[in-house]
Each structure stands twice: as structure tokens, then as C-alpha cells.
Amino acid sequence: MKHPKIFSGLAAVGIVVAITGCTPATQGPEESIVPVISPPASSPSSNPSESSSAGEQSHDHGDENPARVELAKQAATIMTTWDPTKDFNRTAAEMRARKLMTKERAKEVIAPKRPATGVEWLNAAEKKATSKPTVKLMTEHHEQDTIAITATWQWVTEDGESWAGEGKQTFFFTFTDEEPYKIRDYVSSVR
């Protein structure tokens, strides 16, 4: 979650880069006698008394705006609901979610040239299955002003056969400032 959100920092950057910009590409560490610190004989995590120490400054992550969370879940659900017999590729579902976005962002939803492929997609198409996603708020995500939603899915046929989809997709949404909220921007990851 880093970055230069600070403009004052950016001003400093110019100065620092100017000063340090001549650092050799393969510059090694300074040659000097320095203390060497080793890992502990046993992992610190094995000490129960310390294992909760990170919680000392616990931050409540339940402060997201409920309307925004709901909008994010709705978008993630639409974006991972596919019908491989009709959808040319996975972006077709993103297209269907454009109604939840600002006009500017909706214009940027562009489908690639290739159709969707892959064993998962081909199998689902063969069985005329559609995806039924399960979406969850990623409470461990810590970027301010962003809501992260993780989607997984089942493939379901009309006669009730179902099987787990492969992988997951995590969406990171930002929103307009005023209600009714729109999705201002988003990216997603399949890792």
C-alpha cells in the first residue's frame, strides 16, 4: 500500500534523486565493520506470548460504507457470472456490469480480440453450465478508499450438476464520493 500519495514527498524525491542519481548500478554495500544480526534459534512465532502482539494496534476493518460494500459485491457477482455458450469471452460479464460504473469507467471496459479458452471454459460450454459466484469482502485488505472482493464460483447445469470453478478473482474497487455511489475504477487479480 505504498505510494506516493504525498506530494510533499514527491518534492523531496526530485532533490533526493538529483543527489543520489549517480549511485552506481551495481553498487554494493559500504565496506565497514557492522554488527551482524542472526535469526533466532527458534522462530519468534512459536512464542505464544508474542503471537498476538500485532493485535496491539488492531484497526477495525468494519468501517467500510455498507452501500459501497454492497455495490462492490453486486459488481463482482455480475463480473463472474458467465454463460460460456453465449459469452464470447470473460469480459462479456464485465460489460454487463457497466451500469454500475461511472460513464468514464464504463467506456474503458474493453474486450480482447481472443475468445475465452481454457479447459474450465470449454467443459462448462460443453455441459451448457453457467457460473454461480460466491463473493466475499476481503477483510484483510488494507488500502484506504478501496474495497476488495474475492469471488469464487461453481459451475451449474440446468439439471443440477455442479462442480467447483478453477481459481478465484479478487476485485479492487474505488467509488464516487456521493450517493448513489458508482464504481469509479477497478482492477482485478487472478492470483
Partner 1 sequence: MAEERGSGVKIILALLGVLLLLVITPIILFLGAGDEKDSDPYAPCLIEGTPIGDASNKDESSVKIPEQYRDATENSARTAGLPVGIIAAQIEQESGWNPKATSPAGAQGIAQFMPGTWEEWGNVKDPFDPFAGLDAQGRYMKHLAGQIADLASNEQEKIQFTLAAYNAGAGNVQKYGGIPPFEETRHYVQTIMDNAQMDYSSDCEAPGGFDFGDLSTGEWAHPMPSSRLTSPYGARACPLSSCVGKPFLLKHEGIDLAGSDPYFYAPTELKITYVSVGAPDQLYGSYGNYIFAQMTEAPYLVFEFHEAQDHSLMVKTGDIVQKGTPLGKPGATGNSSGIHIHFQINNPKTSVFDRPAVNNGKTYDPIPILRQQKVNIQ
Binding flag, residue 160, partner 1 (CB under 8 A): no
C-alpha cell at 95: 460489460
CB neighbourhood size of 26 (10 A) = 5
Candidates 52-60, 129-137, 151-159; binding stretch for partner 1 (CB under 8 A):
52-60
DSSP 45-74: GG-HHHHTGGGGG----TTS-HHHHHHHHH
Q: Tell me the sheet residues that pair with 156.
A: 130, 162
Stretch that binds partner 1, among 35-43, 129-137, 152-160 (CB under 8 A): 35-43
Q: Does 3 bind partner 1 (CB under 8 A)?
A: yes
Give CB contacts under 8 A, 24+ apart, made by 58-62. Answer: 61/139, 61/140, 61/142, 62/139
Site for partner 1 in 79-138 (CB under 8 A): 84-86, 88-91, 94, 108-119, 121-122, 125, 138
Q: Which is nearer to partner 1, 132 or 184 (CB)?
A: 184
Shortest Å distance, C-beta 71 to partner 1? 13
Q: Among 132, 154, 172, 182, indicate the residue that binds partner 1 (CB under 8 A).
A: 172
Does residue 145 touch partner 1 according to CB under 8 A? yes
**The one among 61, 99, 157, 162 contacting partner 1 by CB under 8 A:** 61
Could you give the dihedral angle defined by the CA atoms of residues 24, 26, 27 and 29, in that order, rounded to the nearest 10 degrees? 170
By the rule CB under 8 A, 174 interacts with partner 1: yes
